[in-house]
């Protein structure tokens, strides 16, 4: 992805969150100079990869397969005491996050407003093997079942609990607008606990055609 494209996505995403009255912590808006000045006091932010996260999964077509995220809080396995994480995401209409599962992380995905979020589900007993059996899960504490590959549509205010080894992909339902999506989970580790069925990448390769508006989580190692 070009940095200019990432910057435009950031600007649009900030406007959408403001429209939905979802507020971020002050450090979210730091400049590069602010980061350099406050690096020592913000080590948890850096180490636990909190902050802006924009990906095209290495496929080069963000609005077809891509995702905007902001990690608000996160622990680090075997390093600190915090056992939970929280993210806010923006999902465009028909913008797919490809099938993946987690071995460690259990998560709730919440429609925080906007359009409808569609989630396709497969059960799995091990990584990379989709089971042809029914999928059992809960939405807002209510037990539900869909066939293998079945769809769940979350309207604003609804949520789904995704347990370990539950393959899922999601996208905004066409004709209903972009979706503000929350995630509350166990500690998130993008380096070791994302298992994409089609083997896509987690972070984009960035072409630096202009300076960043804000640093992404995968920028910290290069800029700080």
CATH code of the domain in which 94 resides: 2.60.120.10
At 65-116, the pLDDT tens digits run 999 999 999 999 889 999 999 999 999 999 999 999 999 999 999 999 999 9
Boundaries of domain holding 88 = 3-223
Answer yes or no: are the C-beta atoms of 191 and 95 closer than 8 Å: no
**Closest-CA residue to 86 (of 16, 181, 196):** 181
What is the distance between the alpha carbons of residues 168 and 97, in angstroms, rounded to a whole number? 9
Q: Which phi and psi (to 5°) does residue 185 adopt?
A: -155, 175
pLDDT greater than 90 at residue 169: yes
pTM of the predicted protein model: 0.97
Q: For the chain, what is the domain count?
A: 1
CA distances (Å), origin 177, targets 70, 114, 118, 160: 20, 6, 12, 20
């Amino acid at each position: 992805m070009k940095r200019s494209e990432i910057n435009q996505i950031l600007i649009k995403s900030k406007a959408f969150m403001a429209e939905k009255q979802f507020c971020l912590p002050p450090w979210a808006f730091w400049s590069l100079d602010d980061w350099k000045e406050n690096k020592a006091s913000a080590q948890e932010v850096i180490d636990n990869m909190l902050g802006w996260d924009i990906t095209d999964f290495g496929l080069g077509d963000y609005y077809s397969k891509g995702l905007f995220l902001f990690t608000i809080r996160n622990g680090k396995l075997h390093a600190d005491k915090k056992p939970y994480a929280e993210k806010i995401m923006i999902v465009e209409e028909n913008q797919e996050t490809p099938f993946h599962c987690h071995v460690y992380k259990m998560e709730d995905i919440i429609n925080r407003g906007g359009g409808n979020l569609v989630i396709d589900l497969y059960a799995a007993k091990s990584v990379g093997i989709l089971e042809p059996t029914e999928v059992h899960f809960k939405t807002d504490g209510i037990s539900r079942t869909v066939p293998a590959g079945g769809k769940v549509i979350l309207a604003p205010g609804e949520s789904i609990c995704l347990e370990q080894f539950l393959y899922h992909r999601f996208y905004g339902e066409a004709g209903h607008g972009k979706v503000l999506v929350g995630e509350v989970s166990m500690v998130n580790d993008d380096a070791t606990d994302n298992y994409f069925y089609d083997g896509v990448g987690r972070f984009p390769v960035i072409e630096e055609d202009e300076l960043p508006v804000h640093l992404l989580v995968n920028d910290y190692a290069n800029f700080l």
